[in-house]
Chain A
């Protein structure tokens, strides 16, 4: 099956610093990648949709200047949390869209990045 990697898996940073998270599709090309965040015991919340070579589409309530997304190639998307604050502490998960046999597309998830802002 399709494999998506994410780096780093865990990061602890000080308030006010920036953190970059990488998402890579390892064995397929992903024209579209998605960034989610998940708080404890809650479901996934879509933050933005990242299309290769174009600007990301952000969901309502997500600050595009705070969560910078770059999708420079068909296998790499990055999320930069700028000027991080403790309330940004969360589990950030990326996914990449791939086609199943038969044409249906689904999303395969990276392992997630647990961000803790002190």
Chain B
């Protein structure tokens, strides 16, 4: 079956670094997406990886290992506004997104 696993909740300190992991199992693979979702709002696109390696975009970076079915989202210099849920989604062979349940990130001062 198809499955996405990510931690339910994480806590970090303002100014620190946090890594949110995601493992996936899909029928075929056409890329791994990370979205940010603030409470009561729709998700916003953060990153896309289809090749192995690290993609850096400002304070956020995303890593993919296709052989391990593994990705992580790295957030640096955490700010209070980064408190949100982070959704991992893998695109399968039918170009459908398979969603994880999301990781709620709590930032403390």
| CB-based contact A112/B41 at 8 Å | yes
**Residue in contact with A44 in the complex, picked from B40, B96, B99, CB distance below 8 Å:** B99
- How far in angstroms is the closest Cβ of chain A from B86? 11
- B18 interface residue (CB < 8 Å to A): no
Residue pair B42, A43 in contact (C-beta under 8 Å): no
Contact call A105/B45, Cβ cutoff below 8 A = no
> Complex formed: what's the CA distance from A42 to B85 in Å?
10
Q: Tell which of B30, B42, B48 touches A93, judged by Cβ atoms closer than 8 Å.
A: B42
Decide: B33 and A106 in contact? CB cutoff 8 A. yes
Give the interface size bracket for B toward A.
Answer: 20 to 34
Distance between Cα atoms of A107 and B87 in the complex (Å): 13
Selected contact of B87 from candidates A44, A49, A104, A108, CB within 8 Å: A44
For the residues of B in contact with A, the DSSP-based class is: loop
Question: What residue of chain A has the Cβ atom nearest to residue B101's Cβ?
Answer: A43
Question: Which residues from chain A contact B41 at a C-beta distance below 8 Å?
Answer: 111-112
Minimum Cβ distance to chain B for residue A48 (Å): 12
Tell me the B87-109 residues at the A interface (CB within 8 Å): 87, 95-97, 99-102
Contact with B along A14-53 (1 / 0, CB 8 A): 0000000000000000000000000000111010010000
Interface size on A, residues (CB 8 A): 20
Contacts of A49 in B (CB 8 A): 96
A108 touches B45 (CB 8 A): yes
Instruction: Choose from A1, A6, A43 the contact partner of B45 (Cβ within 8 Å).
Output: A1
Q: How far is the CB of A99 from chain B (nearest CB, A)?
A: 11
Say yes or no: B42 contacts A100, CB within 8 Å: no
Give B residues with C-beta under 8 Å from A: 30-31, 33, 35, 40-45, 48, 50, 87, 95-97, 99-102
* Contacts A/B (CB < 8 Å), 11 sampled: A43-B99, A43-B101, A44-B87, A44-B99, A46-B96, A46-B99, A49-B96, A93-B42, A104-B48, A105-B95, A109-B45
Given contacts A44-B87, A46-B96, list 17 more A-B pairs with CB under 8 A. A1-B45, A6-B42, A42-B101, A44-B43, A46-B97, A46-B99, A49-B96, A91-B40, A93-B43, A100-B48, A104-B50, A106-B45, A107-B45, A107-B97, A109-B35, A109-B43, A114-B40
